[in-house]
Amino acid sequence: MARFRWILPVLSVAGALVCAGQIVQWSLMGAWPFHDTVAYWLAGRHLLEGAPVYTSGLFLAFLYAPPWAILWAPISLLPIDLVVAGLLILQVLALRYVVGSWVAVGLVAWIPFVPRELATGNVDFLMAAAILAGIRGSGGPISLFAFAKFSPALVLLGGSRRQWRTALVAGVALVAITLPWWHLWVDWVAMLLSNPEGGDSVVPLIVRLPIVVALLAVRRPWALAAGAALLTPAFHFHSVVLLLPAAILLMESLRDPARPTADHAFAPIGEREIEEPSRAA
């Protein structure tokens, strides 16, 4: 088999080139600057200019909670083309974190959802990285993306006390930065009530919800990651990339069924706090 090791790198490079070619083609056809990134950029710009951040309608609508609008405000001072390119790079780096190697990045680039996600300018790869980091014990990224798409908070069901504390501190800090613009919370809730997020999903939430419940019953890290991906309010064609952490974790559990995280992801919080130091020792 050693003589065929060159095949995967070649396929990886080819996949990366095909993916990049699709993105360039779509950009030349009018996709640039990417739609969702423009929506984020405009939200920050509107906040700085005193214009409404939350408006009716779906075109270039900003749907995330006020902390995201505050964070985007200073970013919106940069040229839009630079911001779109920067977020694109961050998305690719997040994909690298999720799949574990650059060879794997090129291989998954063959999947049609990958270039589609990159060309929308959304943050789903960053959210996938946050879900995976949450499964591995991080709390801060979970709080940040819970204010964007709610569902990453589901990962805390398998969290330790330390992870819950970290997530809570991050959440309080994110709320605190919005206090000078407290009215944004009222506007955000009013926008969600008048235009519920998820209405344009390719798979309605009512269909995904029983699947999430069934996944939680499995009580494994990969199932928790899959549940956090499927529970996002709006599930579009490119949102399938959110399932990549679940796929990675499932493959890890199949390779190593005795992996500690597979046994303790849903253990009671107190039990996890007692057992974690013994594993470290």
Domain ranges of the chain: 2-272
Burial class (CB in 10 A: 0-12, 13-18, 19+), 227: buried
Q: What is the pTM of this model?
A: 0.91
Q: Decide if pLDDT at 191 tops 70.
A: yes
Residue 116 CA to residue 94 CA, distance in Å, equals 15
Residue 194 CA to residue 278 CA, distance in Å, equals 51
Residue 150 in tokens: 């709610």
Can you give the pLDDT at residue 55?
87
pLDDT digits (tens, 9 = 90+) for 123-155: 999 999 999 999 999 999 999 999 999 999 999
Please say whether the beta carbons of 36 and 122 come within 8 A: yes
Please say whether the beta carbons of 141 and 167 come within 8 A: no
Residue 77 CA to residue 159 CA, distance in Å, equals 37
Please say whether the beta carbons of 229 and 151 come within 8 A: yes
Residue 202 in tokens: 């390719």
